[in-house]
Structure 1
Amino acid sequence: MSDELDLLRRANPAPAHGPHFGDGPLDHRAERRLELLLEGDDRRRPRLRDPRVRLRIPRARLWWGLAATAVVVAITLTAVLGAPGSPPAVAAPRPLAVRAHSTAVPLDRMAALAAAAAAGGSPGLRKGTHVQSWSLGMSDDKPPVTLPEERVVRWNADDGHTELVVATDPRHPGRPVLTDEGGVPRLVADGRVLSRTAFPPSWSDAPPEARPPHEPAALRAYLAETAHPGTGTGSGSGSLTTSELLDAVQQLLDHWTLGASESAALVRILADAEGLSPAGQVTDRLGRPGQAYACGTPGVRHMLILDPRTGAVLGLEATFTRDDPRYGVKAGDVMEYSAWMR
C-alpha cells in the first residue's frame, strides 16, 4: 500500500517522470481540444490565428507550469519536513502485505527445500554484508522519522574492513532521502555518502565476528552466544526466545553473508522455534518474492522473510501493534526493517 507521500506525488499536476512539463509543447490531442474550445466562442476564433496570441500561449503555460510545480514542491516539503519552525516528520512505511489467498509454506518444508538447495555447496559463506534498512527515529519531543540507509561492509585479506553507509531508498529512486546525520533530520540527495570508514585488522573468536558453523546444533549455540555474550557457546543454547533468536539472526547477517549450508542450518533452527507461524507470500521492499513467518511479542510483531527457493533470509521486519503516544507512533507503523543482499 502506498504511503501518504506516494498519494501526494500522484496528485502532482506536473510529475517529474511525465513526458511533458508545464512549459513543454501540447500534444496533438490537447492542441485539438484547445482549438475546439476557442472555436466555440466567435469572439475568440480570430484570435486563435493571431500569431501574437500563439506566442503568448506557451508563455502563459510556462508560468502556470512553474507556479503549479512550486506549489507541489512546497506542499511536498511541508509534508516531509513540516511547517516552518516545526520538527521534520515522515510517515512510517506500511508493513509488508501478505498476498491474499497465497500458499503459506511450513518451516519444516522450507528447511527441506533449503537442505536440497545446499546439496551443491554453493554459494559459499562470505564475511561482510550488504544490507538496506529502514528504521524509525523516535524521541519524546519530535515526531518519528523514517531513516533509510544502505550499508556495505567488506573485509580485506589482512582482516581489516571497510564500511560504506549511503542514504538511499530503493522504493523511491532518485528522490531526496531523509537522514539524521549530525543529529538533525534533513533531506539529502539520493545516494549521499553518510560515512566511509576503514577499520584496521581485527580478529575475534566470539560470535558474531567468529566464523559461523553450518551444523544446526553448533549454529544454535553460536546464536545463543550472540544473544547472550559471555555465556559460552556450549551453554544457554536452549534458552533463547523466538524474538531473541531473530535478534541474533539479525546480528549474524549484519556481519556475514551466509552460504547455502549455513542458510539450511539456520532454517532448521527456525523451524524448531516456538511461535514462528507461516503467514504466506510477500514481496519484500526490494521487489523480491518471499515466504513470510510471523511471531509476536508485547507491542511488536516480527516478520521473517525467506527466499522461497533456497531458504536464505531476505529480510526482517518489526511493526508496532499498539499506539505509543510518548513517541508519536501508532499501531501498524514499521519500527525497523532490514533487507539483505548478496
Structure 2
Amino acid sequence: MPDELDLLRHANPVPADGPDFGDGPLGHRAERQLERLLHGARPTRRAPRARMLWGLAATGVVLATALTALLGGPNTQPAIAAPRPLTVRAQSTPVPLAELADMAAAAAADGSPRLRKGTHMQSWSLGMADGRPPVTLPEERVVRWRADDSHTELVVATDPRRPGRPVLTDEGDDPHLVADGHVLSRITYPPSWSDAPPPHTPAALRAYLAETVHTGSLDTPELFEAVEELLGHWTLGVRESAALVRVLADAEGLRPAGRVTDRLGRPGQAYVYAGGGGRRMLILAPRTGAVLGLETTFTRDAPEYGVKAGDVMDYRVWMR
C-alpha cells in the first residue's frame, strides 16, 4: 500500500487551468502536471491549437544555438528531414462527414470491435531554428492500463521511417541525437475519476469532450484538442467512433477533401480545417470513421525558419 506521502504526491486540489481553488479530484491534465513538477518528468508534447500555430515558430528561436551546434552551417543537411505533406488522391470524391457518420453507424451495428483502454501512437513534430533547416522530432507513445485502473505512459524516441538510426530529440530542452528506441519517459498514473470511459452517443460524447478541455462552447480547434486528449487514453470501438464522426459533422469549417493514404499505408478520407496560420487534415477510416491520423501544415511562409506554406508542422498516427 502506498504511504501517506505517496498519496499526497498524487493529489492536487488546484487544477492548473481552474478559475479558483478546487476541492475535488483531478483530471488527467492536472495529474500529469503535478507528476512532472514532483518528479521532473519530461512534458508530453502535444499538437498546438490551430489558433496558436505561429507561437511555435517563435518558440523555435530558443532551439537555435543547440541546433546550430548539432546540425552545422546553413548548407548542412538536417539530421532528420522534414516529412512531405499527405496528398489527397487526384479526382477522388470527397465524402461529407454526415454521410460518413451514416456509414459508421451502420458499421457499428454489431458493436465490434469494442472500446479498449490504452493507445499506441506515433508522432513527428517540427523543430525550427533561426537560419537553420527545420528538423523533425519523432516519438512513439504507448499507454497501457493495469488491473487496478492505474496506467503507464511510455514514450520513446524512434523514427519508423529509419529503423535503427539515431533519432533527434529535445529531451531536457537540449536537442541532441539518441539511439533508436531511447526511452524519453515512463510515467505511471494512479486511478482517477476522470478515467471514465467515453460515451457512445453523439450528444453525450460532445459533452464529454467539452469537459475534457474545460469549455462550454466546443469550437473546432478545441474539438481537435479534445479528440487528441481522448485518443491519448482510449482506443475507440466502432460505436464511439460513429458517435465521434457525428460530432465532427457539426464542426464549423471542417470540410471533406477526398481520399488519402495515411503514413502507415492505410486508406482514409481526409477532412481539412484552416485557421490561425495553419491547416489541419484529419484522416478517418472510410467505413467506420475511426481516427487514423492528424496532420498540421503551415499556410504561411516563415523564411527565417526555413518554413514554407505547405510544410508539415506535425503529424500523428494512431494504431488500432
The two structures share one fold, judged by TM-score above 0.5: yes
Residue 220 of structure 2 is aligned to residue 242 of structure 1: yes
Q: Deviations over 1:229-253 (max 9, x none)?
A: 2x5xxxx2xx322222112111111
- Among residues 260, 263, 267, which one is paired with 2:238 in the alignment? 260
- Among residues 158, 169, 182, which one is paired with 2:148 in the alignment? 158
AA matched with 2:212: T
Match of 1:203 in 2: 192
Match of 1:333 in 2: 311
AA matched with 1:125: L
RMSD: 2.4
CA contact (8 A) 1:88 1:186 kept: no
Match of 1:318 in 2: 296
Q: Following TM superposition, by how much is the alpha carbon of 1:337 offset from its aligned partner in structure 2, in angstroms?
A: 0.9
Residue 139 of structure 2 is aligned to residue 149 of structure 1: yes
Alignment: residue pair count: 251
Q: In 2 relative to 1, CA 144–204 (structure 1 residues): closer, same or farther, beyond 3 Å?
A: farther
AA matched with 1:252: L
Q: Following TM superposition, by how much is the alpha carbon of 1:270 offset from its aligned partner in structure 2, in angstroms?
A: 0.9
Q: In 2 relative to 1, CA 198–87 (structure 1 residues): closer, same or farther, beyond 3 Å?
A: farther
- Among residues 103, 126, 130, which one is paired with 1:113 in the alignment? 103
TM alignment of 1:147-226, pairs within 5 A: 147-199=137-189, 201-205=190-194, 209-226=195-212
Residue 276 of structure 2 is aligned to residue 298 of structure 1: yes
Residue 123 of structure 2 is aligned to residue 133 of structure 1: yes
CA contact (8 A) 1:87 1:142 kept: no
Q: In 2 relative to 1, CA 326–202 (structure 1 residues): closer, same or farther, beyond 3 Å?
A: farther
Match of 1:274 in 2: 252
AA matched with 2:262: D
- Paired residue secondary structure (1:120): coil
CA contact (8 A) 1:81 1:90 kept: no
- Identity, in percent, stands at 75
TM alignment of 1:2-151, pairs within 5 A: 81-83=71-73, 90-138=80-128, 144-151=134-141
Q: Aligned partners of 2:135, 2:193: CA distance in 1, in Å?
A: 35
Q: Aligned partners of 2:210, 2:107: CA distance in 1, in Å?
A: 26
Q: Following TM superposition, by how much is the alpha carbon of 1:328 offset from its aligned partner in structure 2, in angstroms?
A: 4.3
Q: After alignment, is 142-151 or 291-300 more displaced?
A: 142-151
CA contact (8 A) 1:165 1:195 kept: yes
Q: Aligned partners of 1:99, 1:245: CA distance in 2, in Å?
A: 26
Q: Aligned partners of 2:161, 2:91: CA distance in 1, in Å?
A: 25
Q: Aligned partners of 1:301, 1:114: CA distance in 2, in Å?
A: 25
CA contact (8 A) 1:171 1:285 kept: no
CA contact (8 A) 1:137 1:145 kept: yes
Q: Following TM superposition, by how much is the alpha carbon of 1:221 offset from its aligned partner in structure 2, in angstroms?
A: 1.1
Q: Aligned partners of 2:133, 2:233: CA distance in 1, in Å?
A: 31
Query: TM-score, with normalisation over the residues of structure 2?
Result: 0.72
- Paired residue secondary structure (1:224): helix
Q: In 2 relative to 1, CA 108–323 (structure 1 residues): closer, same or farther, beyond 3 Å?
A: same
Q: Aligned partners of 1:321, 1:157: CA distance in 2, in Å?
A: 45
Query: TM-score, with normalisation over the residues of structure 1?
Result: 0.67
CA contact (8 A) 2:131 2:306 kept: no
- Paired residue secondary structure (2:177): strand
> Unpaired segments of 5 or more residues in structure 2?
1-67
AA matched with 2:96: P
Q: Following TM superposition, by how much is the alpha carbon of 1:173 offset from its aligned partner in structure 2, in angstroms?
A: 2.7
AA matched with 2:237: G
Match of 2:29 in 1: none
> Quick one: higher RCO (CA 8 Å, sep 6+), 1 or 2?
2
Q: Aligned partners of 1:225, 1:137: CA distance in 2, in Å?
A: 31
CA contact (8 A) 1:171 1:286 kept: no
- Paired residue secondary structure (2:123): strand
CA contact (8 A) 1:125 1:257 kept: yes
CA contact (8 A) 1:293 1:304 kept: yes
Q: In 2 relative to 1, CA 180–87 (structure 1 residues): closer, same or farther, beyond 3 Å?
A: farther
